[in-house]
Amino acid sequence: MTKTEEKMIVNGKRIDGRKPDELRKIEMKVGVISRATGSAHVSFGNTVALASVHGPRELFPRWMQESESGIFRCRYNMAPFSVEDRKSPAPDRRSVELSKVIKLAIEPALFLEDFPKATIDAFIEIIEADGSTRVAGINAASLALAHAGIPMKDLIVACSVGKIDGTLIVDLNGKEDNNSECDMAVAMIPTKEKVTLLQMDGVITRKEFSELLNLAKENCKKIYELQKKALKEKFG
């Protein structure tokens, strides 16, 4: 997708008709992959993420095992058909980095010390990409872990915020992402209001940073309610 000269905010509305602080239609469902210990499907508008969790299971090769604690591994991947120009299926630098930061974003919620010598593996597959894929992936992986029955301190919730045409917005779609002045991904432990992932690029002032962080917090709380609802639909 390319940059356009098109105005991104007209009469206070965004290109898809949303208000600046409005999330897209969010759908969440757990238990979508029967062979996985836990799984989830999360969509934000046209962005679709699937996540499955395998384990806890014994970790091979053995030299990778930790005697006092389990490990958590995470892979983020975009399907070749998820974007306009086919993406090569080989892992690119972006996926390698995102897999690392997503792992670190989720790990604080787990009790890995309860699983010595074991691994818990989370796989995130972006089936369709229309902006904010990493946060959709984090929400899905967090739900899949809960669905797998793995004890967690809390769910991890993520959302994207940004700045476009000078306006602060939430949940960027693909076109907005390509034309934004700044985009910022935030993941947090919602009940503690602690941040586990923060990535920003673009140009903003110090004050805008504080405003964006708060906007992310408010919307993470909304997404948290949807996550809990999805789990209750399955188990409640």
Partner 1 sequence: MKEMEGQYALELIMKGKRIDERNFEDFREIKIEKNIISKAEGSARVKMGETEVIAGVKLNTGEPFSDTPEEGVLIVNTEFTPLASPDFESGPPGEDAVELARIVDRGIRESKCIEVGKLCIVPEEKVWMVFVDIHIINDQGNLLDAAALAAIVALLNTKIPKIKDEEIVRGEYEKDLPVVFKPINIVVGKVGNNFLVDPNFEEEKILDAKLSVSVRDDEKICALQKQGKNEVSMEDLEKMVDIAMKKSKEIRKLVK
Contact segment (CB under 8 A) with partner 1 among 7-15, 38-46, 54-62, 98-106 equals 98-106
Task: Kindly state whether residue 205 participates in binding partner 1, applying the rule CB under 8 A.
Answer: yes
- Taking CB under 8 A as the rule, does residue 222 contact partner 1? no
Q: Is 39 helix (H, G, I), strand (E, B) or coil?
A: strand
Site for partner 1 in 124-163 (CB under 8 A): none
Tell me which residue of 41, 46, 40 sits closest to 16, measured CA to CA: 46
Neighbour count for residue 194 (Cβ, 10 Å): 11
Q: Which stretch binds partner 1 (CB under 8 A): 9-17, 57-65, 135-143, 183-191?
A: 183-191
- 118-128 β-sheet, strand order: 26-30, 38-44, 47-58, 118-128, 71-78
When asked if residue 213 is in the footprint of partner 1 (CB under 8 A), the reply is yes
First to last CA, the chain: 42
| Residue whose CB is less far from partner 1, 15 or 198 | 198
Residue from 13, 58, 202, 235 touching partner 1 (CB under 8 A): that is: 202
* Least Cβ distance, residue 11 to partner 1 (angstroms): 28
Count Cα neighbours of 65 within 13 Å in the Cβ-side half-sphere. Answer: 14
What gap in Å lies between CA 88 and CA 206, rounded to an integer? 38
The stretch near partner 1 (CB under 8 A) out of 12-20, 22-30, 62-70, 96-104 is 96-104
- Tell me if 64 contacts partner 1 by CB under 8 A: no
CB of 38 to partner 1, least distance (A): 22
Helical spans, DSSP H, in 111-193: 133-147, 174-179
Residue 192 as a binder of partner 1 (CB under 8 A): the answer is yes
Closest Cα to residue 139, out of 28, 17, 23?
28
Smallest gap from Cβ 165 to partner 1, in A, equals 17
What is the sign of the dihedral through the CA atoms of 36, 41, 42 and 45? positive
Q: What is the DSSP letter of 146?
A: H
**Sole binder of partner 1 in the list 56, 70, 108, 131 (CB under 8 A):** 108
Q: Which stretch binds partner 1 (CB under 8 A): 44-52, 54-62, 141-149, 184-192?
A: 184-192
Binding positions for partner 1, rule: CB under 8 A: 1-3, 93-94, 96-97, 99-101, 104, 107-108, 184, 188-189, 192-206, 209-210, 213-214, 217
